[in-house]
Chains A and B, each alone.
Chain A
Amino acid sequence: MRKGVIDLIRGPVVIGSGVPDIQLGEVVEVGEERLLGEVVEVERERFIVQVYESTSGVKPGEPIYPTGKRLVAELGPGLLSSIFDGLERPLKTLYELSGPFIGRGLRVNALDRHRKWHFRPLVKRGEEVSGGDVIGLVQETSVIEHRVMVPPDLRGRVAEVWEGDFTVEDVVAVIERGERRYELRLMQEWPVRLPRPYREKLPPEVPLITGQRVIDTFFPVAKGGAVCIPGGFGTGKTMTLHKISMRSDADVVIYVGCGERGNEMSELLTEFPRLTDPRTGRPLMERSILIANTSNMPVLAREASVYLGITIAEYYRDQGYNVLMIADSSSRWAEAIREVATRLEEMPVEEGFPAYLPDRLAELYERAGRVVALGRPEREGSATVIAAVSPPGGDFNEPVTVHTLRFVGAMWALDPELAYRRHFPAINWLKSFSQYAAAVEKWWEEKFPGFSKYRRRALRLLTVASEIEAIANIVGEGMLPDDQRLILLASEVLREGYLRQVALEGEDFFCRPEKQYLMLKTMMDFYDKAYMLIRHGVPVDELVALREVYELMRVKEDERGLEAVKEAAARLNEALEKLAEKHGVKLGGSSG
């Protein structure tokens, strides 16, 4: 048996020797307590291990046991509805073993070994199968059917296949290739640091509907896209991500809480089983997986948690699902990378980060995408990645933000000024961007002709308004000409009535695309008509005084949804007509 010895302990980094054939990336158990670690550097005489648990009290001379395995994720039915730590240990099991505080050296399986799943084969004996082929189905939760696949690197003829109730370790099929026989189980393993293969990558073109107007309308994310959401503390990163995780139209959601607050994870844990997914009527938990490695848990397991999350995301993507992985926060993940680099005394380049930080970020975001999966039946799936970035001092000009922006297709830039005004989501419409806007335009136009025109005009109006506001801040709003004051009024309607979406329950928690379209159209039509009135000499103060304008700002929360928007639009039109009549102006019909 291979066995090494500890020579030095320096925080989470341990130097060992005595295992000449140890491999880079091999998982080892460190010390008498068998703490989990991974080999990160190999030299002729010694090797360096990053340990995923606290090394307090560990002594030199204690043993190191190599496992011969890389850091892998267990993949199979039972992942959904679970909550894991960064090493895929179910936190519920850890709680049962060691109480409210996490002990050390606890080793538990990710997937329950006793639970039985009903497996329905889709292939017959004698059929040729290869990597990625779906050989059968397991109803994992009431909303997700688990498609059991041939591991990517296997190929052969089905020698045996059984229907029945199996544990994840039972053999459900046997594949023969020449002399060799391979046993297939419901569970398989995959090294977390290695992207899972697919047949072909496709360009993203369908939007992931988040129900947040500022995102869906102005800065959309496509299924298979990668987005970062940078913002200083208090700008609402986690809040926005929570909302997206609850209501977006992804099939499977993986939420990685990486180096963030414990109470926030506890909130998700409380909410997910309680909230139902309106599309399926089932608890959200049935489509969700939570990975929690909070800021007080061992730092290095943070590093593993993000890879674990994306590996599970790819696994469901390969089954043909649209998966959303949320990482909060990628900065804490980067800090874990820095921590190891520092302890290894590597040369720091920027703010202590090692030179390979951009490579790591690129590797992660490259694993997002819309793909044609390997194998039959032919299926398409996607993995979307949305990652929070926590720049120190809220300054986006720092290594993690700067490098992340090179690899993502959209940025939702959070703005403390908006947050200070309790304008949430505090996504700044002047600084954010989305390269997916063009890709998903077709989808919107097919459903709502004219949408993209309204979108562009609204963005322009908001931009112009911010310029006018800068002037108003110097000369006072009262000094501005009426047409400019109207732009300020219209932009207030858009900001307060459209972009601001703070509800955590009820009607405005999720805004359906058709309502987004109708609201946007109503607001822009209002601007057009009001502009006509002003052009014909109606004083802007008479518009500012219209009660119906303020009604438009709060119509988003009206429980009657679309109907309420239509009514508000009609009442506003009526009020405008009256003004027109009073001043003898002729308005066009309620054109679109």
Chain B
Amino acid sequence: MVEIPPQLLNRWQGKIYRGVREIKGSLMVIDGIEPVGYEEIVRIMSADGVERLGRVLEAGRGFAIVQVLGEEEGLEATNVYVHFTGSTFKIKVSEDVLGRIFNGRYEPIDGLPPILSGEERDVNGSPINPYARVYPHEFIQTGISIIDVMFSLIRGQKLPIFSQSGLPHDAIAAQIARQATIPGEEEEFAIVFGGVGLRSTEAEYFIEEFRRSGALERSVVVLNLASDPPVERLLTPRIALTIAEYLAFDLNMHVLVILIDMTNYCEALREMSTARGEVPGRGGYPGYMYSDLASIYERAGIVKGRSGSITIMPILTMPGGDLRPPIPDTTGYITEGQIILSTELNAKGIYPPVDVLPSLSRLMRSGVGAGKTREDHKAVADQLYDAYARGVKARDLASIVGEVGLSQRMRRYLKFADAFEEKFINQDAYEERSIDESLDLAWEVLSLIPEDELVRIPRSLISKYHPKYRRGASREH
């Protein structure tokens, strides 16, 4: 047996191996070992005295291929000690996680001690039995008109924001974290924030925002910075969701999980896949990226017998704003809708610059309407959407043929689109509008269109909510 430094013998219980067969990038082939489990966590100590973690990717007779988490530089094949922990990646969770800040290995970075007691959970979680799911149906009021009226967020939903660098997705995420409530309920959301490959200024912005609004004490921050090892990006969202599951399904809290920027996650996934020499799929991303992302996002939901919930709002940046490349495309197939931000609206000074036409909330219809928000909600959203689509089309056309080439009807929709953007979408980052206020505002802009053409709203609702009838005075359009 090789000589093992005594300090290691104290720290690592059990068998310790010295030297490995091969190191290639972040992969390590270790032979001459007793059987180890697939996905088992490995502790690695190099000559420089730094301890790293690794994970078994392939387990064979007498050998294992291990993926090193953390910086692989400085590792040598002979002068390295390896210890197999006998279990997969698990973390301890308890109520004490609230108000805390961790890195992508679940080590505290807020100067406070690590969480040592509590429930031990595998960060990969287990799939929710579809039979055990409760279909999400409760409207979350974000106080942002365009989201609440047209792309409502529902408790238990996974609704991403597709953004681009330079757009105010940080401010929107912070606003939602600050303002999210269920109308008629006192309880505030617990926030689990997973920062993936974040720049430190961005990380500081969020922590500062949470601190200022008092949200920090009901928040947990898991932070993997851009300067941290990419492999840990794969763990960060899983740690965040393991915490969220504990808060939601053990402590019965309503949890809002914000994951930003999932593009960095996908890049890390591609990097790891390439290192493993796997057959690349579209854009070099692995073919299993869909299933891998699903194993994260599908952890959102509500289950029978527990009163808590997990709502996930991932944020990802799309280079060039194109929806078709693998990252936004794969995400869109998994999530329950998408809120897309537009550089054009941003340039016009509209906040939040939501690109209305391609945005969608799939669960909206289950959470809005009579008894939930207001009876006219669905029809109004539908009509706004239709009218805005016509307005945008008219605007495109006007840029070719000039406004004079438009029919009178088209010109009216053009006017509507302008008003919709300036009065309805546009609001302040610290302005909170109730759903009633937002819907009334929607009627204001809809009244620019002749009543007969509001074909997506039943007559009975028009006569109840149209400003013309509400004011009791007749008006020409």
Contacts and interface: CB of A to CB of B under 8 A. Distances in A.
Interface of A: 7-11, 54-62, 83, 91-92, 94-95, 98-103, 232-234, 257, 259, 261-263, 265-267, 269-270, 292, 294-299, 332, 335, 338-339, 342, 348, 351-352, 390, 392-395, 416, 420-422, 473-479, 496, 502, 504, 544, 547, 550, 553-554, 557
Contacts of B127: 101-102, 294, 296-298
Contact of B35 (A61, A263, A265, A390): A61
B132 A55 contact: no
Contact of B132 (A57, A95, A392): A95
Interface in B335-368: 336-338, 357-358, 360, 363, 365-366
B40 A496 contact: no
Contacts, number: 222
B38 interface: yes
B281 A352 contact: yes
Contacts of A292: 130-131
Given A421-B386, A478-B407, A101 B129 contact: yes
Given A7-B60, A477-B410, A261 B298 contact: yes
Contacts of B282: 351, 392-393
B294 to A, nearest CB: 3
Interface in B264-307: 278-282, 287-288, 290-291, 294-295, 298-299, 301, 303-306
Best-surrounded residue of B124, B128, B324, B410 (most CB of chain A within 10 A): B128
A100 B132 contact: yes
Nearest to B59: A9
Given A91-B130, A100-B303, A102-B129, A263 B135 contact: yes
A339 B287 contact: yes
Contacts of B334: 261, 295
Given A263-B301, A352-B287, A392-B329, A95 B336 contact: no
Contacts of A392: 282, 326, 329-330
A262 B397 CA distance: 42
Contacts of B385: 421-422
Contacts of B409: 544
A329 to B, nearest CB: 8
B370 interface: no
B456 to A, nearest CB: 8
A60 to B, nearest CB: 5
Contacts of A9: 38, 58-60
Contact-residue size bin, chain B (C-beta under 8 Å from the other chain)? 35 or more
Interface of B: 35-40, 57-61, 87-88, 122, 124-136, 156-157, 249, 278-282, 287-288, 290-291, 294-295, 298-299, 301, 303-306, 324-326, 329-330, 332-334, 336-338, 357-358, 360, 363, 365-366, 382, 385-386, 389, 396-397, 400-401, 405-407, 409-410, 452-453, 455, 458
Contacts of B358: 234, 416, 420
B37 A57 contact: yes
Best-surrounded residue of A58, A233, A547 (most CB of chain B within 10 A): A233
Given A234-B360, A266-B134, A56 B128 contact: no
A420 B249 contact: no
A262 B301 contact: yes
B35 A267 contact: no
A57 B87 contact: yes
B60 A474 contact: no
B279 A395 contact: no
A233 B298 contact: no
Given A59-B59, A351-B281, A295 B294 contact: yes
A58 B400 contact: no
Best-surrounded residue of B157, B280, B288, B365 (most CB of chain A within 10 A): B288
